[in-house]
Chain A
Amino acid sequence: MLELPTIQDTMNDRRRINGPAEGTRPPVYASHLKSGGATDRAQRQREPTDLRKIFLKTGLIPSASGSSYLEFAPSSSLANARSNPKSLIPPSSALKLSCTVHGPKPLPRSAAFSPNLVLTTHVKYAPFAARKRKGHIRDASERDLGVHLETALRGAIIAERWPKSGIDLTITILEAEDDRWWADAPDLHDASWGMMNVLAGCITAASAAIADAHIDCLDLVSGGVAALVSDDSTEDSAAAPRLMLDADPAEHRSIMAACVVAYMPARDEITELWLKGESSKIALEKGDQRSAHEALIDGAVDAARGAHSVLSEAVRETMLRAVTPL
């Protein structure tokens, strides 16, 4: 039951098939070397408050007590590249993940008594999910995501209805979001922004899967991301960064700050908040008294409300299926 220690180098992993012992290198594209060789930057075509479409479906995995599959609609640049392929380098990527819930089931005998339902979350990227090949063993960022997700869900589950039991929630990410546009060198504000979009997707999908497993919740909790982006090539231009909902990092030159929330609309409460970055320079409309971080949080909540409508539709379908079996 123990995980292997986090050795990135899988060469010693005898339980898997390893590649050449000499190690391999990812391909280097010639166009990448020429400065400015990359011509068409991905550009956001949506309004700042428009979200990408979310495809969410529950109950696809019959062996699990609850399951869901979530997909973000590709942003316009990616959709163009798909319909009319020119370059092998994808301009952007769109989240795809599957989520399963097993349980509630009795806790193992060795476990300590718990008066509440014990939630275990597990997030893993497929090796081919990101631009850089991921290892088979969970790395720090994947564990970190798991903790965030656990926090987000535990606030929503009515845990005391299942004493001495546990549920295992597993998310497999088949395609992750980029952290920046591929040809950009990481700049001052570089961070793993894509992870925040992934977390928002995880929260929404997990919530659907938990509902599919018929576990009582206070409300459906959905995830949303808002980001502060500056699209100007000149770093110190007067133009202040703008607030964008559901920002695809590949479509922006620089993301200054981002915030992801897990939000329950019925109670107007946040179960999980993760904000990072430089938020102080935000440009708000005149008369807006909010401070930058408040605006970011509000933006993320708006995005989560958007995701919530998709989520409740998916859960409604689940219920209809349960009521009228085929």
Chain B
Amino acid sequence: MASTSNEAPAVPPSLSLPPSQFARLQPHAYLLAHLSPPAATNQPSIRANGREPLQFRTTSANCGSLTHTNGSAVVRIGDTAAVCGVRAELLHTDDIASWSVARTSSASTNKRQRLAELGEDVTEEDNEDEDDQDRAHIEDLSLLVPNLSLSTGCAPGYLPGAPPSTTAQSISHEILSLLHSSRLVKADDLRIWYQPPNLGPEDEQMDVDEGAGKKAETEEQKPREIKAYWVLYIDIMIISLAGNPFDAAWASVVAALRDTKLPNAWWDVDNETVLCSDDVSEAHKLTLRGLPVASSFCVFEADAAAGWRAKPIPNAQQQKKDGKGRWILADPDGYEDNLAHERVSIVVDKEKNGKTVILKMEKVGGWTIDTEDLRRLVDVSSKRWDEMKQIFDQC
């Protein structure tokens, strides 16, 4: 808009827009301009939000602040905030229609349980077996019930009161399958056992190892029964959404589960129900298997359509090697999330000896990421794991 006033303007009117408006009008160009600084300046690429490409946002976690939960956590990753509350309720085995059928499998657990109690070595193989059974139990009875809600007014796109959006549904299911596949929660923590009183002599229990076989035949001690299960309702409210809800949601789930305390519970014969003790000292924390940490990345391309247009371009490989025209951004914020089509999500854990274990790796949309990139991202994720471990340990 050149000035048409009669008097010559003292200062020529500027054609440039303030950065905030430019960012809104031309988001792609804006981000690109940040990531590819003029070669002359010799600056490193920097994202519009001031982070380096593989830098995560500042993360904080806070546990146990919600009164009516068994465990809770608030995790903030930059401006994305997730609140997770774990509520434990009881599922009586009497209520489960198919329970008597499933029981046969529980007997074997029973056996091993006793073996373990006797201090016998539980072999690696056995452990594996138990893990599988854990998973089956937790999955079949749906003892873990994660639900994520985005209809909290966290972003303008998600209507409050509407049924869960596809994003919310898919994250809920991702969390569920990750809980199952990572076998984070031990099924044994969720079982409530009952030892029916043995009417025979009391010492039965003690001397199983001497002549166990014989006794088992004649007067088997009544097997322990599972009377109930704890069901963990894991509800995640995304209070504020600025990109990358999955990392925040998953971190809040892990933190809340680490915080979860289950009351001591027993089967009360007289009342035919499960009773709990409200004594904090009797309550037990969940023993989690490991500490899976999720890291998400997105790929920003200078020209997303280039690949489609191209006939086999001779210098495509070349271009890739340069790393030009394509940036992998860690922990994308809302602005970057909208501009990217290719996403990678990696969940890793570290064993005691420092070995990184990949629990989940997912790549959707686009084709620019190759194995080498993935290897690099796993390294980045395992560094992120160290960061997150510190944060978790503090809360």
Contact = CB atoms under 8 A, between A and B. Distances in A.
Interface of A: 1-4, 15-20, 22-33, 60-64, 67, 78, 85-90, 92-94, 96, 98-102, 105, 122, 124, 126-131, 133, 136, 138, 168-172, 174-176
Interface of B: 65-69, 72, 79, 81, 83, 85-92, 95-97, 141-143, 145-147, 149, 151-156, 159-164, 169, 172-173, 176, 231, 233, 235, 237, 239-242, 261, 263, 265, 268, 273-280, 283, 334
A88 B279 contact: yes
A70 to B, nearest CB: 13
Name the 8 nearest CB pairs between A and B, nearest first.
A170-B153, A128-B85, A100-B153, A24-B89, A61-B240, A22-B95, A122-B160, A93-B67
A86 B66 contact: no
Contact of B278 (A20, A87, A100): A87
A256 to B, nearest CB: 26
A63 B152 CA distance: 12
Contacts of B81: 60-61
A15 B164 contact: yes
B72 A4 contact: no
Given A17-B147, A28-B275, A29-B275, A4 B156 contact: no
A174 B89 contact: no
Contact of A129 (B65, B68, B241): B68
Given A20-B142, A96-B65, A170-B160, 4 more contacts: A17-B146, A27-B263, A126-B149, A128-B87
B89 A26 contact: yes
B172 A16 contact: yes
A60 B240 contact: yes
A126 B276 contact: no
Nearest to A172: B152
Contact of B161 (A3, A87, A176): A3
A174 B235 CA distance: 11
Contacts of B83: 126, 174
State the majority secondary structure of interface residues on A: loop
26 contacts: A2-B162, A17-B172, A20-B96, A20-B231, A22-B91, A24-B91, A29-B263, A30-B268, A30-B275, A32-B278, A60-B81, A61-B79, A63-B156, A64-B153, A67-B240, A86-B279, A94-B67, A96-B65, A101-B153, A102-B153, A122-B161, A124-B152, A170-B152, A170-B160, A174-B83, A174-B237
Given A63-B240, A133-B87, A87 B147 contact: no
Contact of B280 (A23, A30, A88, A102): A88
Contacts of B152: 98, 100, 124, 170, 172
A28 B273 contact: yes
B163 A15 contact: yes
Contact of B235 (A18, A63, A127, A170): A127
A183 B173 CA distance: 37
Contacts of A15: 163-164, 169
Given A25-B92, A26-B90, A87-B280, A126 B237 contact: yes
A31 B240 contact: no
A15 B162 CA distance: 11
A180 to B, nearest CB: 15
A1 B145 contact: no
A172 B153 contact: yes
